[in-house]
Structure 1
Amino acid sequence: MSKEITQKQIDAWKAEHGDIFMIKIEDKKAYLKKPNRKTLSYAAMAGQKDNMAFNEIILKDCWLGGDEEIKTDDGLFLSASAKLPELIQIKEAELVKL
């Protein structure tokens, strides 16, 4: 079990990274930031050869704190992997011909 993450720590992460997310799996928690373009590009390239590599890279590069077992236990990792796409928020764009 990791040390308890305080609201003060979460506020510090928000100040540094913007939006912060928590994935909760039973009594385990992972605190993550949104991936940047560099992380997404690297993960996408690795994911072409190994589907799990995409999730591993996103989880590793976006990880701020929490229970390390989420990264090492297959069952917990797969549960977290199911939520990772929600970190990648794509806004609706509009193309207007002028």
Structure 2
Amino acid sequence: MSELIGQVPQSEIDAWKAKYGKVIGVKVENHIAYLRPPDRKIISYASQAGKDPIKFNEILLNNCWLGGSEAIRQDDSLFLSASSVLSELIQIKEAELINF
């Protein structure tokens, strides 16, 4: 990967992984942001945005933010591009009900 605006050293990514278990990169053009998976408190807080998907994504991005290019949070076109993949941060595993 070529040098990206906001790129951090691997040692910092490793420290985040040790703390949060997983680090997700969001690359928009030549910018990168590093995010952690949201927990249910973050998802609940973001869900209070109601029917406003922009606010939902803004809350998700800001509360999962670990580091990277601040332009992704500040520039509307970069933010909107990042928003298109933020829902993938919420990973739902398959569950099933079992009758006994």
TM-score (norm 1): 0.93
Aligned to 2:53: 51
Q: Secondary structure at the match of 2:87?
A: helix
Aligned to 1:61: 63
Which amino acid is 1:13 matched to? W
Q: Which one of 5, 8, 23 corresponds to residue 11 of structure 2?
A: 8
Q: Secondary structure at the match of 2:32?
A: strand
How far apart are the structure 2 equivalents of 1:14 and 1:58? 19
Give the drift of 1:45.
Answer: 1.0
Higher share of residues assigned helix: 1
Aligned residues: 96
For 1:1-98, list aligned pairs within 5 A: 1-2=5-6, 4-46=7-49, 48-98=50-100
How far apart are the structure 1 equivalents of 2:21 and 2:87? 18
Give the drift of 1:68.
Answer: 0.1
How far apart are the structure 2 equivalents of 1:57 and 1:78? 13
Give the drift of 1:87.
Answer: 0.5
How far apart are the structure 2 equivalents of 1:77 and 1:67? 11
Unmatched runs of 5 consecutive residues or more in structure 2: none
% identity of equivalent residues: 55
Give the drift of 1:49.
Answer: 4.9
How far apart are the structure 2 equivalents of 1:20 and 1:85? 15
Deviating 4+ runs (over 4 angstroms): none
How far apart are the structure 1 equivalents of 2:60 and 2:93? 19
Give the drift of 1:50.
Answer: 2.6
